[in-house]
Chains A and B, each alone.
Chain A
Amino acid sequence: MAGRHSHSNYSNSLHYLLVRWPNTTNKGIFSATVKANRQVGHRFYRLALEFSGAGAEAFAEFKPGQFAQLDLSSAALPPAEAIPEDLADVARREILLRRPFSFADVTSRADKTVAEVLYSVVGPATLRMTTLSPGDSLSVIGPLGNGFEVPTGKKTAVLVSGGMGVPPLQHLAKLLTANYPQITVIAFAGAKTAKELPFESKLDAISQQLGFAIPEFARYGIKSLVATDDGSAGFAGLVTGCLAQWLEETCPAPQTTIIYACGPEAMLAKIAEIAKEKRIDCQVSMERRMACGFGVCQSCAVPCRIGDSSETIYKLCCEYGPVFESKEVILDL
């Protein structure tokens, strides 16, 4: 799967006029079967969803950075003793709306497609998600939105994630190494503490020194560095500081380098600033509360610049994004 979108199906509405990429036309409502749901760290889980038939076909085309809407309303709560104290109140809430997730990995084999959700238990929906077990079925709407794009001529791709921003970058890492042998990939991942880094295996000082701190990226032969605010693993400080230091030290050619980022908006704002200063292309994956995910509820507005003018326009994160060029988005610090 190349990171290129065809330009068919262009429409002329307000949103689409400025769209670089058309929406996928293979979106639909599909039933997925849970294959596995493993805890991989402190409050982190990896959920494998298997699609067959039309769903397998649709999700085989799922691009890194796209997303899907999961209906978790009928998933059961864990037993009371398994509910963390800080989630005791929200655990009592019913789920009404679907929840948007990107995938950390998508594998297509024969007539099945398996998509993996890497999630963190943060609220009533993700708490219920932990009780899904193999054989359960789940309603999934997708693939939705537009994913990361790989412009021609790039030789270095820098993946930067903050906290739970890492899943679509893991998926992108896989695609970049499989389809773009001319591109060297490096990944940066930040979190408040070592415990909050959403990775499966232990992060040790030696691998950080060697530049292969994260096993999930090392499996693709990709170098990676971690940063923690409290210095409990890797670089002590924000991941943006770690990135800035690396850019100073290695000075990759701006024309042939691209940064892909996903994480808190303040992190994206800082990265956009660095990219602008260094004249490096940069794509950011945005997060917004959304009710539908397919363009009708109009909840997920992202303020964007119109060309070089001072005028701004809202674009829907679900339709136009969630991946945006960093230079077009007005990011909140």
Chain B
Amino acid sequence: MTGTVNISVDFAALKLANPVFTASGTCGYADELADFIDVSQLGGFITKSITLKPRQGHATPRIVETDAGMLNAIGLANIGLDKFIQEKLPIIEKMTVPVFVNVAGETIAEYVAVTERLANEKAIAGFELNISCPNVEKGGISFGRDPEQVTQITSAVKKAAGQKILMVKLSPCVTDISAIAQAAVEAGADALSMINTFTAMVIDIETRTPVLANKTGGLSGPAIKPIAVYLVNKVYNEVAKARGIPILGMGGIRTASDALEFIIAGASAVAIGTANFIEPGSALRIIDGIRKYCARHSVANIQELIGSLSQERA
């Protein structure tokens, strides 16, 4: 019966085979998960953040496990634009799944330079603008907190992106996420991805020092899921729905049920992050689970589910 269910979704200018991405920073630059899964089965793929120059990242410890989650402070360690083009792009060219490049930088000019250089690459479907990394001194979240700065960076990168899809990744660590989302959309964002991690800290009580070398890190994993679901629903209702802007929902998704909560809340697609570390095949298991849910509930087309949250309690 599951064969008759249509789980493909419209996502900006794309038609995705299914609504499940792997999230930036949890699946490498291209085919790193191929040792474990058939990457072509994914709905979409988002690369690790790319900056203009290579970045070494922070000292260790860079991660610490918490209750139902983990903190990371990697510091945008990446191979840089040139190496990405030389070594990873040829691999991406062979991938059939839509690939988004996560773009980061310290200045607007850097974001623009990376985007411009990749804007004509056929292998790339679009960009995810990282204005929400909580772990770097310059750039990252500092662009994502203030609507005016969001407008500036989004419009500059939108121009650089040409015909490619521009998705803006939002931080939950703001007073009014809808104001940020609105600024991004008005400045040309074709999609929103949300949420990035929450700034957090774990303390070693024996030494009375932070466990992470960077002192703080971004909290991800099941612990943040209900907050992420709430924020997706809020932005869907207040910004995205009226403007027809798709949301890529993420935050602690481990199961098909988790993914479906996001979709019902208003996400057109979802991304799997932390779960990839534990179970590299979780995205494929989730796709299968979504298909089964649709069959079980006689949902012929998954797009019926997007934003289908009823305000009346059952």
Contact = CB atoms under 8 A, between A and B. Distances in A.
A71 B278 CA distance: 8
A290 interface: yes
A298 B32 contact: no
A118 to B, nearest CB: 22
B304 interface: no
Counting chain A CB atoms within 10 Å of each CB, the highest count among B35, B36, B57, B61 belongs to B35
Nearest to B73: A299
Nearest to A317: B60
Interface in A246-293: 288-292
Contacts of A71: 278-279
Chain B, interface residues (CB within 8 Å), range: 35 or more
A266 to B, nearest CB: 15
B65 A301 contact: no
B62 interface: yes
B62 A298 contact: yes
B121 interface: no
A313 B57 CA distance: 10
B72 A13 contact: no
A314 B276 CA distance: 23
Contacts of B226: none
A298 B83 contact: no
Contacts of B70: 96-97, 291
Given A96-B221, A96-B278, A298-B74, A12 B63 contact: no
A302 B35 CA distance: 23
Report the contact-size class of chain A (Cβ under 8 Å from the partner).
35 or more
A51 B64 CA distance: 30
B36 A299 contact: no
B63 A290 contact: yes
B63 A289 contact: yes
Contacts of A192: none
B48 interface: yes
A93 B64 CA distance: 13
B83 A14 contact: yes
Contacts of B64: 289
A299 B63 contact: yes
Contact of A14 (B54, B72, B281): B54
A288 B60 contact: yes
Given A12-B87, A13-B79, A296 B277 contact: yes
A28 interface: yes
Contacts of A299: 60-63, 72, 74
Interface stretch (B22-30, B92-100, B185-193, B259-267): B22-30
A267 B25 CA distance: 33
Interface in A51-109: 71, 73, 93-98
Nearest to B37: A29
A303 B77 CA distance: 13
Contacts of B278: 71, 73, 96-98
B69 A96 contact: yes
Contact of A301 (B32, B57, B83): B57
Contacts of A11: 87
A69 to B, nearest CB: 9
A301 B77 contact: yes
A329 interface: no
Given A297-B63, A298-B74, A292 B277 contact: yes
Interface string B254-276: 00000000000000000000101
A291 B277 contact: yes
Given A11-B87, A301-B77, A289 B36 contact: no
A96 B57 contact: no
A29 B72 contact: no
Contacts of A154: none
Interface string B49-79: 0000010111111111101111010100101
A98 B63 CA distance: 13
Nearest to A71: B278
A295 interface: yes
A294 interface: yes
B214 to A, nearest CB: 12
A94 B56 contact: no
Given A296-B32, A313-B56, A93 B67 contact: yes
A11 B64 CA distance: 30
A301 B277 contact: no
B251 interface: no
A313 B54 CA distance: 11
A86 B51 CA distance: 44
A298 B221 contact: no
A292 to B, nearest CB: 4
Given A297-B26, A301-B77, A314-B56, A96 B62 contact: no
B174 to A, nearest CB: 26
Contacts of B68: 94, 96
Interface of B: 25-28, 32-33, 35-36, 48, 54, 56-65, 67-70, 72, 74, 77, 79, 83, 86-88, 221-222, 274, 276-281
Q: Which 10 A-B pairs rank lowest in CB-CB distance, beginning with the nearest?
A: A292-B277, A299-B63, A291-B277, A299-B62, A14-B79, A296-B28, A298-B74, A298-B77, A289-B61, A13-B87
Given A12-B87, A71-B279, A314-B57, 9 more contacts: A13-B79, A13-B87, A96-B221, A289-B62, A289-B64, A291-B274, A298-B25, A299-B62, A301-B77
7 contacts: A29-B36, A96-B70, A97-B278, A288-B60, A291-B72, A297-B74, A301-B59
